[in-house]
Structures are given as structure tokens and as C-alpha cells.
Chain A
Amino acid sequence: MKISVINGSPKKGKSTSELMIKYISSQVGEGNDVSIYGINKGAVKYVNLKDIKNSDVLLFAFPLYVDSIPSHLLQILIELEKQKPFSKEIMVYCIINNGFFEGEQNHIAIKQMKLWCDATGLKWGQAIGVGAGEMMSFIADIPLGHGPNKNIGIAIKRLSNNLMNKKSGEDIFVSPNWPRFLWKIQASFFFWHPRARKNGLKIRHLKRKQI
């Protein structure tokens, strides 16, 4: 089976989308032809549209931006739509991650992707909305299906099974198996503040107003 994976994170370095792709790849059996396309170099030409047309499965992994599909990915979706009609039946799966704790906040982006599938004539497979995206790399050493990675582990398994069998499934929304209040405090102390200090800022500078 030919699987084309589109990493929709614009980040230059590591991204949560990349980690999600790693998780799904680890569940998808050997013997499949998997190609991963990055769009982080900022141009449509980095995604080989012709090549993607011959896939059995398209997997989109991307971050939620302003409650919906990020603009750079939107451009690529529009370009892909222009390639229709597709000669084959292609199934589309998505794993969308967002910064806020609740994976449910990805529901609009999932609906947008379904509309895109309808417009492009592709078949909808399934989507997972993953909350607390930034936390994912902090807990990447914990095996999937265990501790805080319990919920995402179950979701990844389900989507991967459906993907391998080209089946459709219900939307799945997950948040870490972890208290939200703790996550909220940890976000400041383990994420925003160390990064700001590294840039030579004091914590009070983060609230700076431009006027």
C-alpha cells in the first residue's frame, strides 16, 4: 500500500506533528511504501502533488492554528483539489494536535478536512484530535498506552488499524491522562519561562505591550 504522509507543521526543527507521524508509523506494518512530505520549507513545490495522486492513503498530521487549518496547509489543500479527478480511491486520515488541553478543540479543523475531501473527491477515513500538543514531546519516553500516554495510545492504535484496512472510523478526541490544572502550571514553568530566559528575557517582559 502506498501511504503519503503530509507533515503540516511549519516548524524547522522537531514538531509534535512529527512525533504523531512516528507513533502512527510504528503501528503501520512493514511492507508499505510510506513517503513523508514536509511543508516546513514554506512552498507548495516541496509536496510532490503528482506523487501524492498515486497514493492509497493520505495521512495529514498538522497543528491547529487559530481554531482551524494553518494557512500554509490550506494553500496546499487548494492545490491538491486542483489535481482532481483522482483515478484511484484514496482514503484520508488526519491527526491534528493543538496547544490547549482539550483535543475536542480540533473539531472545526476536522470538519474542514471532511469538506476538503468532499470537494476533492477523496474518501474520508478518520481523524484524531490531540490536546496539549506541547506536552507530547515531554512524555515521549513513556510507552504509548501507558500513564499520561494512555489515551493517545488507544487512539493511535485504532486509527492505524483502520488505516491499514482502508476503513473509516469515528472522530477521536484525546487529552493526556494527566490533571489539567497541573498541565496549566507546568506549561509556564517548563515551557514558556525557560524558553523566554534562553532568549535573554525576564519573565515580566512576556506581558509587554507594544504601545
Chain B
Amino acid sequence: MNVIIHDLSTKESETLFTGLKSETKLISNNGQIKNCIGCFGCWIKTPGKCILKDNYEKMGEILSLADKVIIISRCCYGGYSPFVKNVLDRSISYLLPYFKIKQNETHHRQRYKKDLLLSVYFYGKNISKKEAEIAESLVKANSINFYVSKYNVSFLDSSEELYNIAEIQ
């Protein structure tokens, strides 16, 4: 299964994703998402699931069913937009609380024994070279933490360019 996490408007996403294969799970902004409250309930109260109830509490489980994750986000200060970041902040139940040392750095251990593929499309007018570099290092760091075996990052001048991308048609 592919999972697409995106911050496009309903109108944009309706036209862009019309031809999607049925086994794709779309995570869209319904305007109701709550932000993570830092309680760690997803690790120590309801392991694997966020305790907030707003239809975004199952991100850990959704990622466990994914082969590939596609992120479409406006680029904000060298990172994701608030909605996309909110979804990722709500996704840490995909991992275990326990630590592990990888390449001499601490990271979390896996709850699900699997690797992911990740494609990230950052869009925005005049994304500077500096901003793009930071965004790339962010995706790289996320890939280590979320056990992504292969990732790629692209920068688009506008979300219009998404129509040319095969993997989201």
C-alpha cells in the first residue's frame, strides 16, 4: 500500500488524485487535526496508537501497512508545512519508546519489523538553496528515525507541477 500525506486543498487534491490506484491511503487535512500534546500515551498508555481522538490517531498502524510513503508539502523554513508536520508528529507510535544506537547516534527501536520507501515533494515559490539543503537533511534524518531504506526529495516551484509526477497519478 502507498500512503500519501499532503497539504493540498480539497479542490486541488480532487483533481490531482482522481486516477489513484485504490490501494493508496490519502491523509488529507480535514481541518480537525489536533496537535501532539507530548504525553507519550502512544507508547505507555495505548501502545501503538495516539490517545487523541480526531481520525488521525492511527498513523502508526497506517505506516505499518505502507510500502511507500509520499509526502507533498509546502516548504516552510526548510521543513514541512504545519499540517504535514502535525501528521508526522502524530506518527511516532510507529516506533517503540526504546532506544538503540545507530551510527553512533541514539534512535528508537522498531515496533514493526519492516522498512519504508519515502518520496518527498516540497513545493513553493523561490525555495532557496539554503532552504532546500535544510529540507534535504531533514528528510534524511527522518529516514533514519523511521527506518526508510530509500528516499528521494524533490523541489517544485508550485503544486501545479505535481501533475507531471508519475507516482501520484
Q: Which residues of A are in contact with B by a Cβ distance under 8 Å? A: 9-12, 15, 40, 42, 63, 65-72, 74-75, 77-78, 100-102, 105, 108, 111-113, 115-116, 119, 180, 184, 187-188, 192, 195-196, 199, 201, 205-211
Contacts of A78 in B (CB 8 A): 76, 82
CA A75 – CA B131 in complex, angstroms? 18
Main secondary structure of the interface of B (DSSP, over half): mixed
Q: Is B154 an interface residue (CB 8 A)?
A: no
Q: Is B35 an interface residue (CB 8 A)?
A: yes
Asked if B130 and A205 make an inter-chain contact with CB atoms under 8 angstroms apart, the answer reads no
Q: Which residues of B are in contact with A by a Cβ distance under 8 Å? A: 34-40, 43-45, 47-49, 58, 60-61, 64-65, 76-83, 85-86, 88-89, 91-92, 96-99, 101, 105-107, 111-112, 130-131, 134, 137-138, 141-142, 145
Given that A71-B86, A112-B78, A210-B58 are contacting pairs, would A184 and B47 also be in contact in the complex, using a CB cutoff of 8 Å? no
Most buried by B among A199, A205, A210: A210
Asked if A192 and B39 make an inter-chain contact with CB atoms under 8 angstroms apart, the answer reads no
CA A63 – CA B37 in complex, angstroms? 11
Given that A71-B82, A201-B47 are contacting pairs, would A115 and B130 also be in contact in the complex, using a CB cutoff of 8 Å? yes
Which residue on A lies nearest to B83, using beta carbons? A71
Contact of B106 among A42, A77, A100 (CB under 8 A): A100
State the Cβ distance, A42 to closest chain B Cβ, in Å.
6
Most buried by B among A42, A71, A195, A209: A71
CA A205 – CA B96 in complex, angstroms? 11
Which residue on B lies nearest to A196, using beta carbons? B44
> Given A67-B142, A71-B82, A108-B134, list of 8 further CB < 8 A pairs?
A69-B77, A69-B85, A71-B89, A74-B79, A78-B82, A108-B79, A184-B101, A206-B98
CA A75 – CA B99 in complex, angstroms? 30
Asked if A66 and B89 make an inter-chain contact with CB atoms under 8 angstroms apart, the answer reads yes
CA A11 – CA B41 in complex, angstroms? 12
Asked if B111 and A209 make an inter-chain contact with CB atoms under 8 angstroms apart, the answer reads yes
Closest 6 CB pairs of A and B: A100-B106, A71-B86, A210-B61, A71-B85, A67-B141, A72-B35
